[in-house]
Chains A and B, each alone.
Chain A
């Protein structure tokens, strides 16, 4: 999967062969895991939204009339 060849004094580079089944599996695992983490993060943000109600309440009737 990793096919980097270090040469001379150049910094060691690791290039990734993307067009392989192995990479597709790795991509899938990383993507699925990160999606889970990020959507959980969105869930955490959503669970904090009710705290905004402490700031006050909006009068929906006056908002509807306001344009």
Chain B
């Protein structure tokens, strides 16, 4: 009787997740808890890390069928796999973004490309480490410091690397206030950091409305591979700027954005299974991501200094670091670093120009890469 009970309990136990539990699950659950704690205590990207962390924890509990086909998390991942969610994020971002600083000072848009040298350093580095060219391309885009674009490119080039690349991209974006300033200070003098920018012109409503329409046409004409992202960015911005659809703009910027963030974070976390995440390549990708961010910051600053050789009215080279994208974190970092040397040097509005151009710079790099690789 006792033996029968033991055998019955044993059979029951074998059907639960306990039988498949291994140390990798423990590590990943600890990582998930760490993400939630970082969000709560350090306020690092809480909108993203709480969802990713929780989904990571649940996905590493053996026996949970949420991530299996038919499970809720699986359907969230389908939204990423079908490339529906990243463009919807851009839709919300567009409805929140004021492109005025970029329109007002067109010469600074070049910094949006200059600050993307990190993409290519990471790409070549990844290839040297033995990744395939497609994996290297996806890893390189971490240097674009643009989460939805990194996810979009990864799903196109190397979907199996989604957890590593998305975690690296969003983590470094949250850590930009720590990563960028040393590089910025190393490459500039105090006098350069104290350069004050001239006040920008006012951008009219006609220009603000024309901008998303014109860019939508150009991107679809020249860069179809990344057109879904930029098109939705421009649609969201058009809703904002025409003033007659503010209900839709607010919905895009709030309700749509929030729902998409919930689904996106669940999807990313659900891919962080121990067997896929706990590999040597994860460390390599995280290392390459850091290099990409640092090189991108440096190349942006050097790009601005190069521009100063030809400009009569000098620009503050700190603006170059904002060209790395990661709106508006990079612009805020440039502003804060400038304030350290001159308490009245307000760079934030000026830095938003290259910062927004950085979004286009990443999209252009990604689109060209897809066109060359496919």
* Chain A residues near B (Cβ < 8 Å): 18-21, 23-25, 27-32, 34-36, 38-47, 49-50, 52-53, 55-58, 60, 63-64, 66-67
Contact = CB atoms under 8 A, between A and B. Distances in A.
B110 interface: yes
A46 B109 contact: yes
A23 B242 CA distance: 45
Contacts of A53: 204, 206-207
B38 interface: no
A3 to B, nearest CB: 15
Nearest to A34: B368
B106 A43 contact: yes
A31 B120 contact: yes
Given A23-B133, A28-B123, A50-B207, A67 B244 contact: yes
A50 B368 CA distance: 29
A39 B103 contact: no
B372 A39 contact: no
Contacts of A38: 113, 222-223, 364, 368
Interface residues of B, number: 49
B133 A24 contact: yes
B113 A63 contact: no
B206 A42 contact: no
B204 A57 contact: yes
B120 A42 contact: no
Interface of B: 102-103, 106-107, 109-110, 112-114, 116-117, 119-120, 123-124, 126-128, 132-133, 136-137, 204-207, 209-211, 214-215, 218, 222-223, 242-247, 357, 360-361, 364-365, 368-369, 372-373
B372 A30 contact: yes
B37 to A, nearest CB: 38
Given A31-B120, A36-B110, A42 B365 contact: no
Contact of A49 (B119, B132, B211): B211
Contacts of A55: 206
A49 B124 CA distance: 38
Given A19-B132, A23-B133, A46-B109, A35 B116 contact: yes
Nearest to A61: B243
Contacts of B218: 41-42, 45
B116 A32 contact: yes
B360 A64 contact: no
A30 to B, nearest CB: 7
B110 A43 contact: yes
28 contacts: A19-B133, A20-B127, A21-B124, A24-B123, A24-B126, A28-B124, A35-B364, A38-B113, A38-B364, A39-B112, A39-B361, A42-B357, A43-B109, A43-B110, A45-B218, A46-B103, A47-B106, A49-B211, A49-B214, A50-B204, A53-B207, A55-B206, A56-B206, A57-B204, A57-B205, A63-B242, A64-B243, A67-B245
A39 B325 CA distance: 14
Nearest to B211: A49
Given A31-B369, A35-B364, A49-B211, A40 B110 contact: yes
Given A38-B222, A46-B102, A56-B206, A27 B117 contact: no
Nearest to B132: A19
- Which 8 residue pairs across A and B have the least CB separation, nearest first? A28-B120, A46-B106, A24-B127, A63-B243, A43-B109, A39-B113, A47-B106, A43-B106
Contact of B103 (A36, A49, A56, A66): A49
A56 B126 CA distance: 52
